[in-house]
Amino acid sequence: MDEELNPLAMARQQLDEVAVHIHLEADVHERLKHCKRTLIVAVPTSMDDGSLQVFTGYRVHHNLARGPAKGGIRYHPGVSLDEVSALAMWMTWKCALMDIPFGGAKGGVVCNPKEMSLRELELMTRRLTSELMIILGPDKDIPAPDINTNAQTMAWILDTYSMNVGHSVPSVVTGKPVSVGGSRGREEATGRGCVCTIREALGHLGMPIAGARVVVQGFGNVGRATARLAQQAGARVIAVSDEWGGVYQPQGLDIEALVCHNQEAGRVAGFAGTEPLTNAELLELDCEVLIPAALGHQLTGANAGRVRARMVAEGANGPTTPAADRILAERGIFLLPDILANAGGVTVSYFEWVQGLMEYFWTEEEVNERLERLMRQAFADVLRVSLREKVSMRLAAYMLAVSRVAEATRIRGKYP
């Protein structure tokens, strides 16, 4: 794989750049380049046709100096160990940036869930949980939803874990249904946090969110919630896409109607009153805010020069390669990095974990108010470092986050 597109090489390159700016000691730098542990498991699953298929699953812990491991589990045919390792590292920085007491983790299964029945997904998830039991736990590793996993997936993990230990343990996962201990406000938390940081960034740039043209790549949990909340905030969402392509309406899409169409058709394409466009074309539309909220490596050295957005807000993890970063910076495009822009999900996951441990639950208004307060504070912290050090918002976010993880790693020392 091209090193620019290898996620682990990209994550380490970002760390190397930050290390120079914060004068990170060589021994701490070396420790932070490597993941603490990696578990690779075989996941034998009985398929509906009577056959047995063995999937490969991964769970990676990057650094646990600040708390137990936290990170999603994704189901996708493109899952790889390098991808999961990079995502675990990014989760470490994201949790530190938001100043919540978690370390970074990530998991994934190499499969195509769109070709699997609900029964097959349940059996695979339960077997995966059984294989991961040795590292899971509310004080060890707390999974959450990610690409192609959802609240139902988390309920299966919760039930399987609880059946194995002999009692219900709601705090072992987050992003689960409210009926089994989930947090109100969790489902749209990533989108809400993204829109909050966009609003703060537009304010810094002297631009109102009302009337701002917004383009969203991806219409999964994050993209859908971000588009809906951006429209509610007064923005004009002019284009949305999914893996099959996109739709464009310069006067603004009716997001609620598009959600209904998507549920019926299984894709955004064909929505009445819109023009079709490809994902590549969508990334190059003239707009105020471009939100890549799908997979990684969407903005690269090959297409960053054609981006016409005033701002890029990374709803997905790692959608912009280092080469694209440099091009966007040279062109004066303001970038909200993933570890800030999409940190709303892990922040409300933290709230959910706390509520589960306390067995005391908050209202949705309380959750949203706490989330917005933390997102505004994190944006202000990153902007302050960016302006003071004259560095990009990404580098400023990483300088804050890596410094916090390095301090915890340094103070705890090395055992033995």
- Residues acting as catalytic residues: 106
What CA–CA distance (Å, rounded) separates 20 from 29?
10
Instruction: Decide if 394 contacts 299 (C-beta within 8 A).
Output: no
d(CA 254, CA 244): 19
Phi-psi domain of 234 (left: phi exceeds 0; alpha: psi -120 through 50; beta: other): left
Q: Which helix (H) or strand (E) holds 246?
A: strand 245-248
| Residue 348, H or E segment | helix 344-358
Task: Please report which helix (H) or strand (E) contains residue 102, including its range.
Answer: none
Give the residues across from 104 on adjacent strands. 70
CA dihedral 76, 33, 376, 250 (to 10 degrees): -40
Cβ-Cβ contacts under 8 Å for 147 (sequence gap 6 or more): 72, 74, 75, 76, 220, 295
Provide the phi-psi class of 16: left if phi over 0, else alpha when psi is between -120 and 50, else beta. alpha
Owner of token pair 């993941």: 35
Q: Tokens 């219900």 identify what position?
A: 168
260: Cβ contacts below 8 Å, ≥ 6 apart:
none
- Angle, in degrees to the nearest 10, between helices 393-412 and 7-21: 80
Rounded CA gap, 209 and 236, in Å?
9
Q: If DSSP states are collapsed to H, E and C, what string results for 131-163?
A: HHCCCCECCCEEEEECCCCCHHHHHHHHHHHHH
Instruction: State the Cα–Cα distance between residues 81 and 216, nearest whole angstrom.
Output: 28
Structure tokens at 409: 């790693």
Q: Do residues 241 and 218 touch, judged by C-beta distance below 8 A? A: yes
Q: Is 176 helix (H, G, I), strand (E, B) or coil?
A: coil
Query: Quick one: which of 160, 179, 186, 158 has its CA closest to 170?
Result: 158
Task: Please tell me the total number of residues recorded for the chain in this structure.
Answer: 416
